[in-house]
Each structure stands twice: as structure tokens, then as C-alpha cells.
Amino acid sequence: MSPPSRSSSRAAGIRTAASAAATAAALLMALTACGGESDQNAGAPGTASISASTAPKGDLTVLAASSLTDVFKKAGAAYERGHPGTRITFSFAGSQELVSQVQQGAPADVLVTADSKSMDKVRADTGTPAVIAKNRLVIATAEGNPKGIGGLKDLADSNLKVVLAAPEVPAGKYSNQILDAQKITVKPVSLEPNVRAVLSKVELGEADAGLVYKSDTESAPDKVDAVAIPDAQNAIARYPAATLKESKHAEAAAAFVAWLSTPEARKILQDAGFQQP
């Protein structure tokens, strides 16, 4: 019996890839439908078990914005409990660093950034992104707000040590956006590579204040205080999530991204200070 021709092998490969893609798409639609249900329906008998039993399994590497550090650790643990056989490894960094990693071909399965512009830079490398949460900026101060900072205009005080995220970082872009809109000039003592580095400077007493996300201050309630910024002066941060086309676990990656829009995941995010998408 003669070996199969190259054309036959190619055709078989195409059929296999098409089948996997179709399965992933069907799963994504099914899980997203579950995610669109109300919280009351989220606990309906059989809903969670069906999602867990049908979700593909596999070890996933998720590249995620640094502001998601604490909440994604909780979300990942919840996902693994509900989906035995799946293990998630997170790599947290500034969105601009994550984009660079994707562009350089770093092996990963899912990308979640803190702004849509960063995700757009790797559009050719991802599936269709879905916004999973929103966030807003606040002014982080030392616990008790000893400097009596009341709003953005106070950050212009030359006697204050203010830190901001670097302008290429989403949090830095948002910070510059709201400060420019209010015509407030701030001379930061440092520009940090990600928003968690800004928070750390305030926590350690190396800065009097810094602009971070609301969720960041809620991750350290005993170390920093948050001064709210009025909505009219604020900016909305959106977090898109997408599968990576080079993922070796495409169906499992699609399942995790879809899960991020379910009531269970949204509650975890909301409890951590994020807003609904």
C-alpha cells in the first residue's frame, strides 16, 4: 500500500485544524452565553458542572497587566478548582512589556492588557478581544493621608513627592490624560515601569502620592489610602482579553477567556475593585 500523498496529508491537517477551531468557537459561544446570564441564574443547577465538563483542559500561560496581579491569582485558583486538569501560570508586567513579549514570540496562550491600544498593537497575533473589566484612577497616599491630599490639584505642590507610571504604560497615559485635561503640572520624582511599582513607592514611604487604579489601593488597604477622583476628571481603563494565535492549547485558552466574562469571574473582579465591563 503506497504512503499518502503530500496533498492528502495537507488536507487531513486542514480538516484537523478546522475541527479544532470549530470546537473552540462553539465552546466560546456556549461559555459566553453562560456569562451573559444574571447572577441569579449563575447558580442554576447544572450550569457550572456543564461548563467544567465540556471545557478543554491544558496548561495555560497568561500574560496579564500588572494591575491584575492579585485578582488574577484568585481568579486562576477559582478556575482551576472548577476545571480539574487545567493549570494556569500568570506572567504579570506593564502592558507595553507584554506587547513586546508577544511581538518577540514569547510562548503564551492568553493576553490581557490594561488598555485597548496595547492590544491593538498585536491584533495580528490574537483572536478577537473581549473587554472583561474596567477601572478608574485614584490618588494613592500613605495610610491616613498625612499630607492632607484632597484632589488632583494638590499634586502640583512642589513639596510633595509624587510618582507616576511612565508615559508608555497605560496607567501613565491615563494619568497624563487627566492631568493635562485639568491643566495641572506635576513634576514626578520618578516614572515607574508599571502601576504596581507606583503603588510600591507609596507603600514604602518613598513617595507621598501616586496615581494608580482603584483596584490597586484595595489590594493594600492597611498600607495606603485612596483619594477619589471625580468622574468628570477621571479616565476609564478598559481591560481586553484575547487568545494568542500561536497558543498550543487554543481550545483551553478560548475557554478561559470566555470564563472571564461569566458571573463568577466578574464577581471576583468586582470584589477586587474593578468595574463591570
Residue with cell 446570564: 37
Q: Is 90 exceeded by the pLDDT of residue 250?
A: yes
At the topology level, CATH places domain 9-134+237-271 in D-Maltodextrin-Binding Protein; domain 2 (3.40.190)
Quick check: pTM over 0.75?
yes
Find the mean pLDDT for residues 93-98.
Answer: 96
Find the mean pLDDT for residues 182-199.
Answer: 97
d(CA 57, CA 252): 6
Cβ atoms within 10 Å, residue 205 = 10
Q: Which three cell numbers stand for residue 214?
A: 482603584
Instruction: Give the 3-state secondary structure of residue 27.
Output: helix
Query: Rg for the chain (alpha carbons), in Å?
Result: 21
Domains 9-134+237-271 and 135-236 share a fold: yes
CATH, range 135-236 = 3.40.190.10
Closest CA to 137 of 233, 270, 272: 233
- Amino acid type, 245: K
Q: How far is CA 103 from CA 107, 195, 227, in A?
A: 11, 22, 37
Show me where the domains of the chain are located: 9-134+237-271, 135-236
Q: What pLDDT is attached to residue 17?
A: 37
Cα-Cα-Cα-Cα dihedral sign, residues 183, 188, 194, 195: negative
Instruction: Give the 3-state secondary structure of residue 74.
Output: helix
Q: What pLDDT is attached to residue 51?
A: 52
Q: Is 90 exceeded by the pLDDT of residue 8?
A: no
Find the mean pLDDT for residues 19-40.
Answer: 41
The larger pLDDT score, comparing residue 91 to residue 21, is at 91
Q: How far is CA 233 from CA 125, 151, 212, 213, 238, in A?
A: 35, 10, 14, 14, 17
Q: Is 80 exceeded by the pLDDT of residue 26?
A: no
